[in-house]
């Protein structure tokens, strides 16, 4: 029989599934989940899908069903060049590559760059999906410090000098899990550090368009294009089920990322890419994005208000200008795993923050709350019940 012995050495890195156990309770009836990270189904442009499908079939015909190049569907790359330019990233369509979700480029980056025991620098806390993409390649994670303005550039510089990481992974705007955004001055400093130390920075930006207040901040990629891989996605502004992401990378990295992707899936779904191309170039995106923003803004406000009203003293939390998450932190000594058990009894779920740290023992008093899925009344009631659970434990 087939046994564990037959697995590759690298599979031992893919073992951790603790968070899956946590998420299993979500299917229990009556539970309100603030644990997820999914867009609300009402955020999908369902009323436009018929038209989009018809356009794809009329305009692209068999090309939407045929094999395509690994680099991606040209009409989508062309539409993205315009979109990116409006977001301060100036590049040519031929330097925009399409991936199967942003997850696809994270996997390719791991494959192409990380030899076992290579250092990879991540924010503390960081995005779990990136760790899942990198883990099989055997990195040694090094945490960089953050505060309410996200990554602290001095910490990044120190980590780079001490560990020479193969890559620095960042979600600079409305980060998952904290919702925090790195301000412009820090971004300039991060770009300078990347250049002066010749370090590759991954700027993962799936949430940047979900801005409910304030002004957009220039991407780091715009300030250090030769040192940054900029990753975007249609998952939060169109539909995650299409699995369409994209990236812009320095030349040599790009060449290898394409080759890695070819071995993994040949190319991303042509039909999905064609739908995204029509969504972007046909004016649907510009019409639809404000609706998503107007859907999520009151949800976020409801959550922040309820936290203000119900959460006990000693707790603090982020007040992001956009994104999908609020990050809360209890006073020292609080264990959000214990709060979690109590919260489940009260029919509310969240993600204990420790899962977003690469160092054992970090983040014990933190938690991530998502506000995109439930409606405002449900959010308020759930935050109230969560606060009850907290008070029981603290």
Q: Are 159 and 142 in contact (CB under 8 A)?
A: yes
Asked if 166 touches its own copies (CB under 8 A), the answer is yes
Asked if 10 touches its own copies (CB under 8 A), the answer is yes
Nearer to its own copies, 8 or 21 (CB): 8
Asked if 263 touches its own copies (CB under 8 A), the answer is yes
Identify the residue among 71, 107, 157, 329 touching its own copies (CB under 8 A).
107
Identify the residue among 241, 283, 314, 331 touching its own copies (CB under 8 A).
241
Token pair belonging to 128: 């779990």
Asked if 21 touches its own copies (CB under 8 A), the answer is no
Token pair belonging to 360: 């054992």
Q: Are 95 and 226 in contact (CB under 8 A)?
A: no
Please list, residue by residue across 127-138, b when 16 or more beta carbons sit within 10 angstroms of its beta carbon and e when fewer do: bbbbbbbbbbbb
Minimum CB separation of residue 248 from its own copies in Å reads 14
Q: Single out the segment in contact with its own copies by CB under 8 A; choices: 77-85, 96-104, 309-317, 381-389.
A: 96-104
Asked if 2 touches its own copies (CB under 8 A), the answer is yes
Minimum CB separation of residue 394 from its own copies in Å reads 33
Identify the residue among 19, 23, 63, 394 touching its own copies (CB under 8 A).
63
Q: Single out the segment in contact with its own copies by CB under 8 A; choices: 54-62, 334-342, 358-366, 385-393.
A: 54-62
Nearer to its own copies, 295 or 381 (CB): 295
Asked if 272 touches its own copies (CB under 8 A), the answer is yes
Asked if 72 touches its own copies (CB under 8 A), the answer is no
Identify the residue among 19, 23, 31, 44 touching its own copies (CB under 8 A).
44
Nearer to its own copies, 111 or 385 (CB): 111
Hey, which residues does 96 pair with through a beta bridge?
248
Distance CA 71, CA 266 (A): 9
Identify the residue among 22, 64, 231, 343 touching its own copies (CB under 8 A).
64
Q: What is the 3-state secondary structure (H, E, C) of the chain?
A: CCCHHHCCHHHHHHCCCHHHHHHHHHHCCCCEECCCCCCCHHHCCHHHHHHHHHHHHHHHHHHHCCCCCCCCCHHHHHHHHHHHHHCCCCCCHHHEEEECHHHHHHHHHHHHHCCCCCEEEEECCCCHHHHHHHHHHCCEEEEECEECCEECHHHHHHHHHHHCCCEEEECCCCCCCCCCCCCHHHHHHHHHHHHHHCCCEEEECCCCCCECCCCCCCCHHHHCCCCEEEEEECCCCCCHHHCCEEEECCHHHHHHHHHHHHHHHCCCCHHHHHHHHHHHHCCHHHHHHHHHHHHHHHHHHHHHHHHHHHCCCCCEECCCCECCEEEEECCCCCCHHHHHHHHHHCCEECEEHHHHCCCCCCCCCEEEEECCCCCHHHHHHHHHHHHHHHHHHC
Residues numbered 116-145 forming contacts with its own copies, rule: CB under 8 A: 118, 129, 132-133, 135-137
Q: Single out the segment in contact with its own copies by CB under 8 A; choices: 42-50, 75-83, 143-151, 377-385.
A: 42-50
Asked if 6 touches its own copies (CB under 8 A), the answer is yes
Number of shown-chain residues binding its own copies (CB under 8 A): 76
Asked if 278 touches its own copies (CB under 8 A), the answer is no
Asked if 394 touches its own copies (CB under 8 A), the answer is no
Asked if 147 touches its own copies (CB under 8 A), the answer is no
Minimum CB separation of residue 267 from its own copies in Å reads 7
Residues numbered 180-219 forming contacts with its own copies, rule: CB under 8 A: 198, 200
Residues numbered 282-341 forming contacts with its own copies, rule: CB under 8 A: none
Q: Single out the segment in contact with its own copies by CB under 8 A; choices: 10-18, 280-288, 339-347, 374-382.
A: 10-18
> Position of tokens 């009323």?
47
Identify the residue among 271, 297, 319, 394 touching its own copies (CB under 8 A).
271
Nearer to its own copies, 5 or 313 (CB): 5
Nearer to its own copies, 4 or 332 (CB): 4
């Amino acid at each position: 029989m087939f046994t564990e012995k037959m697995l590759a050495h690298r599979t031992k890195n893919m073992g951790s599934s603790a968070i899956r156990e946590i998420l299993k309770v979500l299917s229990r009836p009556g539970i309100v989940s603030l644990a997820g990270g999914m867009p609300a189904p009402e955020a999908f442009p369902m009323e436009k899908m018929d038209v989009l499908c018809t356009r794809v079939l009329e305009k692209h015909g068999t090309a939407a069903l045929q094999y395509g190049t690994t680099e991606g569907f040209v009409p989508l790359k062309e539409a993205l060049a315009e979109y990116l330019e409006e977001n301060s990233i100036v590049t040519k369509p031929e330097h925009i590559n399409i991936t199967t979700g942003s997850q696809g480029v994270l996997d390719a980056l791991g494959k192409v760059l990380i030899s076992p025991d290579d250092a990879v620098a991540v924010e503390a806390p960081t995005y779990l999906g990136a760790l899942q993409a990198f883990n099989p390649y055997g990195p040694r994670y090094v945490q960089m410090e953050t505060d309410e303005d996200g990554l602290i550039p001095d910490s990044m510089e120190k980590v780079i000098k001490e560990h020479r990481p193969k890559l620095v992974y960042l979600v600079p705007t409305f980060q998952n899990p904290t919702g925090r955004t790195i301000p412009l001055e820090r971004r300039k400093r991060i770009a300078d550090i990347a250049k002066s130390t010749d370090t590759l920075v991954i700027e993962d930006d799936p949430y940047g368009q979900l801005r409910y207040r304030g002004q957009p901040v220039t991407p780091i990629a715009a300030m250090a294009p030769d040192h940054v891989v900029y990753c975007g996605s249609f998952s939060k502004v169109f539909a995650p089920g299409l699995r369409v992401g994209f990236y812009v990378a320095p030349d040599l990295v790009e060449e290898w990322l394409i080759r890695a992707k070819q071995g993994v899936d040949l190319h991303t779904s042509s039909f999905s890419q064609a739908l995204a191309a029509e969504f972007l170039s046909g004016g649907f995106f510009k019409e639809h994005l404000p609706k998503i923003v107007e859907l999520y803004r009151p949800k976020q406000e409801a959550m922040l208000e309820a936290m203000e009203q119900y959460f006990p003293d000693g707790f603090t939390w982020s007040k992001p200008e956009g994104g999908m998450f609020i990050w809360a932190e209890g006073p020292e000594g609080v264990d959000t795993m214990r709060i979690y058990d109590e919260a489940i009894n009260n029919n509310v779920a969240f993600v204990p923050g420790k899962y977003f740290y690469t160092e054992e023992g970090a983040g014990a008093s933190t938690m991530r709350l998502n506000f995109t899925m439930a409606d405002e009344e449900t959010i308020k009631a759930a935050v109230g019940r969560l606060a009850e659970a907290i008070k029981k434990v603290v």
